[in-house]
Structure 1
Amino acid sequence: MSDLLGQVHAAAGPYLESLSARPVQDPDALSLLAELGGPLPASGDPAEVVERLLRIGTAAGTASAGPRFFHFVTGGVTPAALAADWAAALLDQNAFSKISSPFAHEVETVALDWLRQLFGLPASWGGALVASATFANFTSLGCATHWWGFQHGVDTAEDGLTDLPRMPVLSSGYVHASARKALQMLGHGRNSVTVCARDAVGRADLAGMRRHLESLRGAPAVLIANAGEVNAGDFDPVAELADLASEYGCWLHVDGAFGLFAALSPRTEHLVRGIDRADSIAADAHKWLNVPYESGFALVRDQSRLGAAFGMPGAAYLPGPGDPASGYALYGPESSRRARSLPIWATLAAYGRDGHREMVERHLDLARRLAALVDAAPELERLADVPLNIVCFRVAPPGDADLDDLNRRVGAALLRDGRVYAGTTVYDGKVALRPAIVNWRTTEADIDLFVAVVRELAATVGAARS
C-alpha cells in the first residue's frame, strides 16, 4: 500500500508544478487512451496498473485544475483543499450519520456553518453537502415540492404527486438546464418552468410573472431566481423576486451555482442582495470555492424541510429522524456519502473569509482586463456587460458575412489547439465565446495568452474560409 501511494505522491509534484505552463489539452497525448481498454484482465500487477494510470492521466488528462481552463465555470483546487481530499480518501469515512462517523459529521456541521457565515446567512439556516449544483437544485426543489404538496394537504414524501395539479414554476430566461433536470428527476418535468423573459437574452419580466401569479388565484407556486447566468454572468433581481414571493406566498429558490460568491466582495454583493429572504439556495463548491469534484451544497431557510423531504423510511438497523445518532444522509438525496466536507472545511480554515474575498476580487479584475483586451481588438466584439467573472464576446472581423459559422469554427479550433480552453454558446441569437475566470491560479499572463490565442486562431480560421 505504501509503495502504491508513493507512486501517486511522486507523480503529484511534477504534475502540479506543470499546471501553470502546460497546455490544457495535449492533442497528441490522446492516443494514449487506447492503452486503458482491452479485455478484462484475469489478474494484474498493482504497481504497473498505478504507473499506467498516472502516465496516461498526467499526459492525456484535461488540465482543468490549471489557470487556462475557462470552460464550463470550472474552478481549480487550492492546496489545502487538495490535501484534505487526499485525507478524505485515506480515512474513507461514510458520512451517513453520527454513528457511522462522528468525525465526518462534525466536520460537515462546521463546514455548513462556515458556508452560511461566508455568504452572510442567518445561523438558523440548514444545509446539505451534495455532489454538484444539479444535486443542490434537486435538493432545494425537493424541499420546495414537499412544501408545495403540504399547501395542498399532501405529504409528497409519503404519497408522491398523484392526484396533485402540476406545480407552477416561474423563472426568467436565465433558468439553467440543471434546474430543469432537477424538476425532471422530481417528476414535474423539465418543461414545467414558465419562462417570463422581456427580451431574447432572457432578462426577467417581473410584470409578466406578476400577471401569471395573479392568474393562479392564490395557488402556491415556486419562483427560481438565477444568481449568475452562464453566458454573461448576469443576475436576476433577487430582492424584487423576493418581494413577489412574499406578496404571493411563493417558495423562492436561488440558483447561485457560481454567482452566489458575489456576496464575498463589497464590489458585487449588491448583485445577490435579498438572498437571505429566499427559502433555498443552490451552489457549487467545485466552482469558485476551488475544491475538488464532486462538491455542491444546498442551503435552506428551514432545516426541517430537508428532513421532511429526504428522511428515509424506517429500518431496524438504521438511525431514523430524531435519533441522536442520525445525520446528514437524512437531509439530502444520498445515503452512503463520501466525506466531501473535508476539502470545504480545510480551504475555509486555511484561507478564511479574507482569502476567498481576495480571490474573488482578483478574478473580477482579471475579467475586466479580458474585457478591455477584447474591446481594444478590432476583430473582436464584446456582446454583454461584465458584472462578474464571465466575458461574452465573439470574433467579428469587418466584412465577414457569416459570423456564427466563423465563431463555431474558432471555438472548435480552440479546443483542438489545447493551449487554452473555452467553449461556444449562443447569446442573444449570436454564437459567441464565454470564458469564465474562477481558478485561483489564473494570472494576467494567462488572460493575455487567451486573447492572443483567440486572435491567432481566428486569423487562421478566417484565412482557411476565404
Structure 2
Amino acid sequence: MADPLHERDLARPALDLVAKAAGAYLEALPDLPVRDPAADVLFDRLGGPLPEHGAGTLAGVEELLDIGTRAAVQSSGPRFFHFIVGGATPAAQAGDWITGLLDQPAGLWVASPLAAEAETVVLGWLKDLFALPDSYGGVLTPSATFANLTALACARNWWAAAHGVDVTVDGLAGLPTMPVLTGGYVHPSNRKALQILGCGRDTLRVHTRDDAGRVDLAAIERALIEIDGPAVLIASAGEVDTGDFDPIDALADLAERYGAWLHVDGAFGLFAGVTPRLSHLVRGVERAHSVAADGHKWLNVPYESGFAFVRDADLLGRTFGASNAPYLPGAGDTHLNYNHLGPESSRRARALPIWATLRAYGRAGYRAMVERHHDLAVHLGALVEQAPDLELLAPVTLCVVCFRYRPPEPFTETELDELNRRLGTELIEDGRVYAGTTIHRGKVALRPAIVNWRTVAGDVELFAAVVREIGARVAGELRAGGRAGEA
C-alpha cells in the first residue's frame, strides 16, 4: 500500500524528478510546436478506474511528467497567440514552485503572516507600476473575471447604499435594476459578474457608435440624464479582438458629472500604462472607482492570477467581510485578512510569484517587455499589409493584430468567412503556431495576441508564413470544391 506517510522520504526525490524534466522541457520549449495532435492518444493513460492500490510517489510523478510534457499545449511558449495568454517568467515560475512548496493558506493573517505581508507588498508595487493612487484598496484574485466580479460587487454595494439598502445584509429584494452602461468593447466576463451578482447578465446597456463597437459617449450621457439615481459605467482598457481602448478619461468625466461609478476592465490593456509610449491609452484610469486586471496575461505569472483595486478601500471589507464565524478573527483583529476583502476564503499564496517577478525585473524590465511586444505586433501588422493574400482589419493599437486571409482571386464575403473559419480550425490542428478566430465587423478574422516574454520576431514571422501556407491550401480546396459542385 502506497501510504504517503510511508513514502515521506520520497518528497525530495519526487521534486528532483520534476526539476530534471523541467530543464529539458524549458530548453526545448522555444522550438516546440504549440500542440502535437498525435499526443492526444496519451489522454487514455489519464483515465481508467480509481486505483485501489497506488503506484507510489515516484511512479505516479514519472507518469504524469511523461504524459504532461508530451501532451500539453505549449501555452507558455513563444508561439501561443491564442486567448491573450502570457507565459511565466523564470522568476515567476520559480516563485510558483515556492508557493507550492510552502503551501500557505493565504486568507487569514494568523494562518500565514508571510502570505498576507507579501500580498500587501505586491498590491502596492502593482499600484505603483500602473500609476494608481496608493490609497486604493486591493486584493489578489484568481483572474480578471474574479477581479471584475470583486469590483462590480463593490459597485453594487455602493449603488444599493445610495438607495438606502445594505445589500450585504438584506440582498437585492425591493431594489430596481442596477443600471450598467458601457460600449461595445465590453468583455463577457463583466456580464458573467453581473449574472453571479444577481444583477442580470442581460441588463447591461451597450451604447455604440459603429459596428466596431466604439462607445457612444453622447448616448451614455443621455442615458445618465434619464436614470433616476446612480449608475455604473464600464470602460474597456484593451478590447480582445483588436486591442483598442475605450476613452477612459472621457468616461471618467461623465462619471464625475453624473455621480456614477466608473469601473475599468484592464485585463491586459492596463499594462499600456507601464510605458510612456502607450500610457495615453489608459489616461484617466487613476480616476476610476475600480480597476481589474489579469496577472497571467501580460504580467507573465503562472495561472491563476488577477487583481482588483477599489478607490474606497473600506468597500472591499463591507462587501466581502463580516462572516460572523466564531473560529475566525473578529472585529478586534487589526491585521489584513484578505479573505475578508474578496470572494475567496480558501486562497493560495498567489502573491509569491508576483513578488518574485517584480523583484527580479522591476519597472524597467516590464517596460522593455511591453514595448518589445508592441514592436512585434506592429511588425506582424506590417507583414500582413505587405502580403498580397492577407488583409489587416484594424489598426495595431497595442499587442493584438486583427486580420484575415484574403487570396488575390475574388471570393465572396461568405466564402471568405468559410475560408478563414477553416483556416482557424486547421491552424489549431497543425499546431506549429496557435491563434483563434473571431468575428470583427461582421468578418471572420484571426486575432493573435503577443504577450509572452519569450516571443521574438522569428515567432511572429513564422506565424504569418504558416497562416499563408494553410490559407493557400484551404483556398485551393474551396476553389476545387466549387468547381466540382458547378460540374
Question: CA–CA distance in 1 between the matches of 2:112 and 2:473?
Answer: 57
Counterpart CA distance in 2 for 1:322 and 1:444 is 56
Corresponding residue of 2:315: 305
Q: SS state of the match for residue 262, structure 2?
A: strand
Identify unmatched segments of 5+ residues in structure 2: 1-10, 480-487
Partner of residue 7 from structure 1, selected from 9, 17, 24: 17
1:103 equivalent among 110, 114, 123: 114
Alignment check: 8 A CA contact 1:24 1:64 kept: yes
Which residue in the other structure is 1:129 paired with? 140
Deviation at 1:325, TM superposition (A): 4.0
CA pair 455-100 structure 1, distance change in 2 beyond 3 A: same
> Deviation at 1:430?
0.4
Q: Spell out the pairing of 1:44-443 with structure 2 (5 A cutoff).
A: 44-45=54-55, 46-217=57-228, 219-321=229-331, 323-398=333-408, 399-401=410-412, 402-443=415-456
Contact persistence 1:280–1:299 (CA under 8 A): yes
What is the DSSP-based 3-state SS (H/G/I as helix, E as strand, rest coil) of the residue aligned with 1:426? strand
For 2:301 and 2:218, locate their aligned partners in 1 and report how far apart those are by CA, in whole Å.
Answer: 39
Whether the 8 Å contact between 1:321 and 1:330 is mirrored in structure 2 is no
Aligned residue type for 1:114: W
Equivalent position of 1:450 in the other structure = 463
- The structure with the largest alpha-carbon Rg is 2
- SS of the residue corresponding to residue 19 of structure 1 reads helix
**Alignment root-mean-square deviation, CA:** 0.8
Q: Shift of residue 122 of structure 1?
A: 1.4
Match of 1:40 in 2: 50
Report how many aligned residue pairs link the two structures: 465
- The offset of 1:397, in angstroms, is 1.2
**Segments ≥4 residues shifted beyond 3 Å:** none
Paired with 2:245 and 2:209, the residues of 1 have a C-alpha distance of 14
Amino acid at match of 1:138: L
Looking at structure 1, the residues matched to 249 and 133 of structure 2 have their Cα atoms a distance apart, in angstroms, of: 17
Structure 1 residues 206 and 317, CA gap change in structure 2 (3 angstroms):
same
What code does the residue aligned with 1:306 have? L
- 1:390 deviates by 0.3
* Preserved contact between residue 319 and residue 326 of structure 1 (Cα < 8 Å): no
Shift of 1:312: 3.5
Indicate the SS of the match to 2:359: helix
Tell me, yes or no, if the aligned pair for 2:426 and 2:470 is still in contact at 8 Å.
yes
Asked whether the equivalents of residues 264 and 292 of structure 2 are also in contact (C-alpha less than 8 Å), the reply is yes
Q: CA deviation at 1:214?
A: 1.0
Report if the CA contact (8 A) 2:273-2:282 is conserved: yes
TM-score, normalising length from structure 2?
0.95
Q: Secondary structure at the match of 1:20?
A: helix
SS in 2 for 1:18: helix
Q: Which residue is 1:22 aligned to? A: 32
Distance 1:352 1:359 in 2: 11
Residue type at the aligned position of 2:292: A
Partners of 2:53 and 2:12 in 1: how far apart?
A: 20
Q: Secondary structure at the match of 1:224?
A: strand
Q: For structure 1, which segment, 337-346 or 316-325, has the greater mean C-alpha deviation from structure 2 after superposition? A: 316-325
Name the CA distance, whole Å, in 2 between partners of 1:128 and 1:182: 17
Deviation at 1:321, TM superposition (A): 4.6
Q: Distance in 2 between matches of 1:207 and 1:326?
A: 42
Which residue of the partner structure matches residue 485 of structure 2? none
* Residue identity in the other structure for 1:175: V
Tell me whether 231-240 or 7-16 shows the greater mean CA deviation: 7-16
Amino acid in the other structure paired with 2:231? A
Deviation at 1:273, TM superposition (A): 0.2
Tell which deviates more after alignment, 104-113 or 41-50: 41-50
Q: Which amino acid aligns with 1:261?
A: F
Corresponding residue to 2:473 among 452, 457, 460: 460
Q: Is the 8 A contact 1:196 1:204 kept in 2?
A: yes
User: Hey, what's the Cα distance between the residues in 1 that align with 2:475 and 2:391?
Assistant: 16
CA distance in 1, matches of 2:448, 2:285: 26
Give the direction of change, closer, same or farther, for the CA distance of 1:292–1:397 in structure 2 (3 Å limit).
same
Alignment check: 8 A CA contact 1:99 1:326 kept: no
**Alpha-carbon distance in structure 1 between the residues aligned to 2:222 and 2:330:** 43
Distance 1:202 1:229, change over 3 A: same
CA distance in 1, matches of 2:361, 2:468: 36
What is the CA distance between 1:322 and its match in structure 2?
5.2
**SS at structure 2 position matched to 1:154:** coil
In 2: Cα distance, 1:269 partner to 1:408 partner: 35
Aligned AA for 2:108? S
SS of structure 1 residue aligned to 2:301: coil
Partners in 2 of 1:299 and 1:389 — Cα distance?
24
Whole-Å separation in 2 of the counterparts to 1:9 and 1:163: 57
With normalisation by structure 1, the TM-score equals 0.99
CA distance in 2, matches of 1:47, 1:312: 44
What is the alpha-carbon distance in structure 1 between the residues aligned to residue 210 and residue 233 of structure 2?
19
1:387 counterpart letter in structure 2: T
For 1:156 and 1:81, locate their aligned partners in 2 and report how far apart those are by CA, in whole Å: 38
Shift of 1:44: 1.3
Contact 2:407 2:472 in 1 (8 A): no
**Secondary structure of the corresponding residue to residue 445 of structure 2:** strand
The Cα shift of 1:146 comes to: 0.3
Q: What SS does structure 1 have at the residue aligned with 2:234?
A: strand
Which sections of structure 1, spanning at least 5 residues, go unmatched? none
Q: 1:42 is aligned with what amino acid?
A: E
